[in-house]
């Protein structure tokens, strides 16, 4: 948290065309995220959490202001540069897992490495290591349809982490999971955050997730309502993972 | 390579839908190859039969001769002298004298072409050896079609009337000494062959001929007083007929191909629509839109490669079987007026196979590409949500 900022959001506003008018999803946001943070964007539906994650992930562009991710201004990147940024430096975890159904667990995790053009041996090693992190090495040959929701989300975490990105963006990762699975996957991510010093940014309104966060940014109506650091003693961070 | 690997996985993963498309396309593929092979086989057999029975390795025509104008026959004859006579002696040229005549089989009237041919010739397949005169009769050779239409059989006598060089009518009976069977109707229908020397004597055209047929070993050479017509010219009608047939069959197989391509197009449109979330995921994982478009295009076009493999699995044994036994032609094909064998043996040339493969693969790639252009207009954030765009 005290490390240098790897994401800077400066006076960011995002508007969407809705029918004849505009809908402002984010208003004049100013934020910074350091390396190794475990941060949550918290707020009700429509507060702008996902929109902010999408902009940080260079899936969308700000209407005004700047989002600087790992030194790159998102709005100034070409499609190709955005793709490279996402491929090498950003991992995504989605609420609905977004696993490729015709691929095996191994293939799903391997996908990003294929784009990075690793050799077969490297890929094999990295994928199995990532599946080990999430405890699914024995399911490498299974198809997503054969897995439970919790297992699918763990595959999704492995897919995001296999390329060792600097940033992982998780959009409501526990929304489709029961309590036990929610704790399990958040603990897995917390462990990876500690071991690999990866920055995790969540969009969530799940209180179970909030228990593990080091920093909580409250968004409301597209504005930062509160940006609070959670003392270590109050988080589950101190729990042995 | 990555696009091929991923596309292959996606295609196989799509299961039944893929195999339905592939089956239809493979059928179109096999039908196209079969049709083209059959026409090429017919073409080759027809050309080779026509060359063997009628045109030889080209013909030297009297300058006034026109095969489509019977009026020209009266004056289209000349004495074979000089270089031409020398080549005839060397069996390099076969002189034929042609005159119009009227035959009266069983009292009926039939316009025929009376053709004088050397009984010892070996340049054409016409079995002229049977024309050696015996017992003072004029031996005549006719084809099976002519025999059927004139109700003539071997040994029959038939009255033939012709005009000699001076335009005087004369008539004599000829005896049918043999009936030959040929795939080339133009050497058969309304044709009566008699020995060249006898026809020359009957018409008063001693040592004269209407045309000279070149042997296979004779390379085209200028002969004074005669106009050379090569096989390309002589087979022009046949080529035009084959091309017309090809045009007709093209309509049929293009319809079939269109149906198969429509199925792929439909699948692609549906894929882009239904797999938006997947497209969004690809982009989130680091693919560019162009890479996703390429992936979907390759996926669509790979239908054609799978169709090629599937088509080969059942098409090759089927075609080998047909190639061995041929396709029997109906009896009525005899009356078609074109050179056609009793059985057609398809011929599959490398060029035809390559062009068919290219046609199928390229057209499948084009129809696969068009629906994927929508991807370039998709917002990845909406695609990830699977929102209709």
Which of B14, B285, B381 faces A60 most closely, judged by CB atoms? B381
What is the pLDDT, as a whole number, of residue A207? Answer: 86
CA A97 to CA B283: how far, in whole Å? 15
What is the pLDDT, as a whole number, of residue B118? Answer: 94
Token pair of A177 as six digits: 């999971």
C-beta of residue A228 within 8 angstroms of C-beta of residue A216: yes
Neighbours of A135 (CB within 10 A): 13
User: Looking at the complex, does the CB of residue B153 fall below 8 Å from at least one CB of chain A?
Assistant: no
What is the pLDDT, as a whole number, of residue B377? Answer: 79
- Segment-wise mean pLDDT, segments of 10 residues, chain B, 389 residues: 81 82 88 86 88 93 89 88 91 94 90 94 93 84 92 93 90 94 90 94 93 87 89 89 82 83 84 86 91 89 90 92 85 66 85 89 89 83 75
The structural domain count of chain A equals 1
What is the pLDDT, as a whole number, of residue A1? Answer: 40
- Polymer length in residues for chain A: 241
Q: Which residue carries 């990555």 as its tokens?
A: B2
CA B108 to CA B100: how far, in whole Å? 17
CB contacts under 8 A, B 287-316 vs A, are 287-291
Q: B227-282 pLDDT, tens per residue?
A: 999 999 999 988 888 888 888 878 887 888 888 888 888 888 888 888 888 899 99
Which of A54, A101, A115 faces B285 most closely, judged by CB atoms? A115
Residues of chain A with pLDDT under 70: 1-3, 233-241
Reading phi first (left if > 0) and then psi (alpha if -120 to 50, else beta), residue B58 is in left
- The radius of gyration computed from the CA coordinates of chain B, to the nearest angstrom, equals 31
Determine the distance in angstroms separating the CA of B6 from the nearest CA of chain A, rounded to an integer. 9
- Polymer length in residues for chain B: 389
What is the chain A residue with the closest CA to B11? A102
What is the pLDDT, as a whole number, of residue B220? Answer: 66
Tell me whether strands A215-220 and A38-42 are parallel, antiparallel or unpaired: parallel
Residues of chain B with Cβ-Cβ distance to A80 below 8 Å are: 288
What is the pLDDT, as a whole number, of residue B337? Answer: 63
Task: Provide the edge-to-edge strand list for the sheet that holds A21-34.
Answer: A21-34, A5-18, A64-69, A72-73
Its domain, for residue A90, covers 5-238
Domain boundaries, chain B: 2-52+237-385, 59-229
C-beta of residue A205 within 8 angstroms of C-beta of residue A42: yes
What is the pLDDT, as a whole number, of residue B336? Answer: 62
* DSSP sequence for B147-162: HHHHT--TT-EEEEEE
What is the pLDDT, as a whole number, of residue A157? Answer: 92
Q: Which residue carries 């096989």 as its tokens?
A: B231
What is the chain B residue with the closest CA to A117? B2
Helix (H, G, I), strand (E, B) or coil at B75: coil
Angle at which helices B16-50 and B236-274 cross, to 10°: 170
Residues of chain A with Cβ-Cβ distance to B2 below 8 Å are: 114-115
Helix (H, G, I), strand (E, B) or coil at A171: strand
Q: Would you call B41 exposed, middle or buried from its count of C-beta atoms within 10 A (0-12, 13-18, 19+)?
A: buried
List phi, psi (to 5°) of B374. -60, -30
The ipTM, to two decimals, is 0.90
Residues of chain B with Cβ-Cβ distance to A88 below 8 Å are: 286
CA B231 to CA B218: how far, in whole Å? 13
CA A5 to CA B135: how far, in whole Å? 120
Angle at which helices A120-133 and A179-196 cross, to 10°: 130
Residues B360, B364, B366, B370, Cα dihedral to 10°: 160
| CATH number of the structural domain spanning residue A25 | 3.40.50.300
């Amino acid at each position: 948290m005290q490390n240098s900022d790897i994401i800077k959001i400066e006076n960011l506003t995002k508007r969407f065309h809705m029918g004849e008018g505009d809908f402002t999803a984010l208003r004049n946001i100013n934020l910074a995220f350091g390396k190794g943070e475990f941060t949550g964007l918290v707020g009700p539906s429509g507060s702008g959490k996902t929109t902010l994650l999408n902009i940080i992930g260079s899936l969308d562009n700000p209407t005004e202001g700047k989002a600087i991710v790992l030194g790159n201004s998102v709005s100034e990147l070409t499609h190709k540069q955005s793709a490279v940024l996402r491929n090498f430096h950003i991992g995504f975890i989605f609420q609905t897992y977004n696993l490729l159904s015709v691929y095996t667990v191994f293939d799903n995790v391997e996908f990003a490495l294929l784009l990075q053009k690793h050799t077969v041996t490297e890929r094999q090693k990295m994928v199995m290591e990532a599946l080990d992190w999430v405890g699914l090495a024995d399911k490498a040959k299974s198809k997503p349809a054969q897995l439970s929701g919790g297992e699918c989300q763990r595959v999704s975490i492995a897919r995001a982490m296999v390329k060792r990105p600097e940033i992982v963006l998780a959009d409501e990762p526990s929304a489709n999971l029961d309590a036990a699975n929610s704790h399990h996957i958040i603990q897995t991510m917390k462990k990876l955050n500690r071991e690999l010093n990866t920055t995790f940014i969540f969009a969530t309104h799940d209180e179970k997730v909030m228990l593990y966060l080091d920093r909580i940014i409250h968004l409301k109506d597209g504005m930062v309502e509160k940006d609070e650091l959670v003392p270590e003693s109050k988080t589950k961070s101190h729990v042995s993972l | 390579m990555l696009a091929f690997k991923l596309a292959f996985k996606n295609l196989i993963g799509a299961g039944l839908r893929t195999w339905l498309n592939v089956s239809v396309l493979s059928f179109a593929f096999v039908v196209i190859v079969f049709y083209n092979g059959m026409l090429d086989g017919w073409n080759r057999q027809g050309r080779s039969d026509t060359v063997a029975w009628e045109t030889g390795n080209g013909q030297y025509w009297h300058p006034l001769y026109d095969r489509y104008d019977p009026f020209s026959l009266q004056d289209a004859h000349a004495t074979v002298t000089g270089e031409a006579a020398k080549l005839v002696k060397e069996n390099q040229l076969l002189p034929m004298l042609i005159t119009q005549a009227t035959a009266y089989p069983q009292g009926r009237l039939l316009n025929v072409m009376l053709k004088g041919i050397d009984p010892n010739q070996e340049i054409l397949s016409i079995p002229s050896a049977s024309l050696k005169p015996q017992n003072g009769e004029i031996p005549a050779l006719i084809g099976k079609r002519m025999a059927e239409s004139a109700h003539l059989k071997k040994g029959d006598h038939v009255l033939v009337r012709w005009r000699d060089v001076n335009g005087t009518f004369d008539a004599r009976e000829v005896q049918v000494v043999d009936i030959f069977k040929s795939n080339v109707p133009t050497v058969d229908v309304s044709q009566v062959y008699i020995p060249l020397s006898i026809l020359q004597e009957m018409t008063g055209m001693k040592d004269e001929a209407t045309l000279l047929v070149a042997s296979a070993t004779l390379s085209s050479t200028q002969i004074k007083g005669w106009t050379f017509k090569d096989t390309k010219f002589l087979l022009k009608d046949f080529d035009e007929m084959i091309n017309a047939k090809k045009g007709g069959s093209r309509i049929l197989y293009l319809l079939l191909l269109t149906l198969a391509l429509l199925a792929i197009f439909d699948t692609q449109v549906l894929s882009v629509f239904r797999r938006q979330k997947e497209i969004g995921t690809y982009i989130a994982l680091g693919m560019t839109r162009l890479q996703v478009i390429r992936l979907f295009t390759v996926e669509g076009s790979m239908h054609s490669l799978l169709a090629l493999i599937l088509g080969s699995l059942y098409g090759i044994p089927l075609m080998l079987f047909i190639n061995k036994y041929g396709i029997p032609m109906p009896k009525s094909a005899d009356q078609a007026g074109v050179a056609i064998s009793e059985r057609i043996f398809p011929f599959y040339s490398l060029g035809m196979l390559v062009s068919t493969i290219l046609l199928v693969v390229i057209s499948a790639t084009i129809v696969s590409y068009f629906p994927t252009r929508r991807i370039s207009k998709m917002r990845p954030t909406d695609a990830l949500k699977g929102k209709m765009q």
